[in-house]
Chain A
Amino acid sequence: MENQKIHIKYMVSLRCIMVVKEELKNLGISYSNVNLGEVEILGKITKSQKEELGPRLKKIGLELLDDKKSILIDKIKNEVIKVIHLSESAIKVNYSDYISEQLGYDYTYLSNVFSEVQGITIQQFIIFNKIEKVKELLLYNELNLSEISYLLDYSSVSHLSNQFKKVTGLTPSFFKQMKELRRNNLNNE
């Protein structure tokens, strides 16, 4: 049976994670993973378990997100991750059209649901993920910047470099150099 994810609003600390785990245990709900804002249930959570969990979380200042929105956010994230992190070949996608098509909802609606819970827009989530992929590829040291920019569908190396600098404050080459130095530095201790 496939695992189910539920989303919880206002989870802000490791202490919250402990408390949520405790509540899940009390209700006999098995989980494989509890992250900030997200719980992976082993199998499916029943309706009555959910009806009990909701008020318990509310008591400690947390809020169980309704199924529909929870599933949508998850699907949006998965589509973005699938395209950016799991593609083998060069990525040529219009993300808003693609996400909207895959999920069968108007993009504006999806975008609003996403921002409301995640605190950032889908576009920002896409950019963060692309930059993360760039970092990974830089560290593998197999591709140069122009190959990376082609792979991730940047219009040019300078577009990639500018976005990287805008998000991280660092140039791609400085990032790479720093990571290598840091690896050596931390290993030597």
Chain B
Amino acid sequence: MGAVVHTPFVDRRADFPVLAREINGHPLVYLDSAATAQKPRQVIEVMDRFYSHSYGTVHRGVYELGREATEQFEGARERIAAFVNWPADCSIFTRNATEAINLVAYAWGRENVGAGDEVLITEMEHHSNIVPWQLLCEETGARLRYLSVSESGELSLDELDSVLGEGRVKVIGVTHVSNVLGTINPVDEIARRARAAGAVTVVDGAQAVPQMPVDLGAIDADFYAWTGHKALGPATGMLHGRRELLKRMRPFLGGGHMISRVERERSTWNELPWKFEAGTNAIAEAIGLGAAIDYLGEIGMDRVREHERELASYALDRLPQVEGISLYGPDSVDRRGGVIPFTIDGMHPHDIAELCDREAVCVRAGHHCAQPLMRCLGVGATARASFHVYNRREDVDRLVDALGKAREVFEL
């Protein structure tokens, strides 16, 4: 076998129909994949074919459509679980990553966290990994604590050890990759130290799974949540959990499909993973997510990660050429994903995004659902550019040009 030659960039633009659009007379440049990613036709076609050909409910129908739907749905689960190296029966379909974290906070949290206990999260969490824990603490009397974020946008394992050493932490909620700063956190090490201290770890992987290889067997956290819509798939989420914990937990939502037997006064529960999948699933979305991870797997997540790193590196070189710009997050692209937050003196991020849109460059502006982190950074909001396999260096150039024009409009 000859050596495999990789090109440094993955250019999959042709697979994404939306990128053929022009907006305001300019070809679309989509730089908001950290919010939600565009979909390749390979995913759209699989979902279209399912709806046109095989749609039926799962685990109910004895007819052909029901069989096909069940086979495709459970097949998607198996491939998705294998993609992140976790058992399929411990991989639960949820509405999104937010619901996955809420599932843990309710079904595990209410049984295992009480007054005097501590819930530890970090200052760089998305609201979806803050608010469920606030609700839990309000109800149980537990205390919510935060690990601080350094000036370079990173967590300190020493601070983690010191808080764990006090012996009251029952659960740690931590993001794998920050949706604002791009910081890649050492979640394997955090999970290891947490377990040694008797705490359970819940990782928010919403930004990680779409853009880098994620091996849950190696990370070995107790719970890991992510969502399909940032991974080139439709909006359906995943929760991967440790079997012994999932087995002991009470259900999250009650209803059809999650039961074994329903009596007048009480019920017994279905097996894993269906115990946590009440009601009719988003079936086509699950199958679409299966197609999305097939697509990503075919590119290879190592290459996706390399592509993200190259683009982040190029953006970190180019963006400082814009006068008055400030960049946030780790300096080294080895410690950050393809997410670049920035502000420009004299211009609010909302206005930056509005003026970039005139040039058909889509960037996010706002607090990115991370208001505590915004306060740490000392800003109310930032603009943010983020990348995926359909972006190329030219897109960063278009952003830099758009920012230059925006400054002209503001007469800066």
Binding between chains A and B: no
- Residues on B facing A (Cβ under 8 Å): none
- Residues on A facing B (Cβ under 8 Å): none
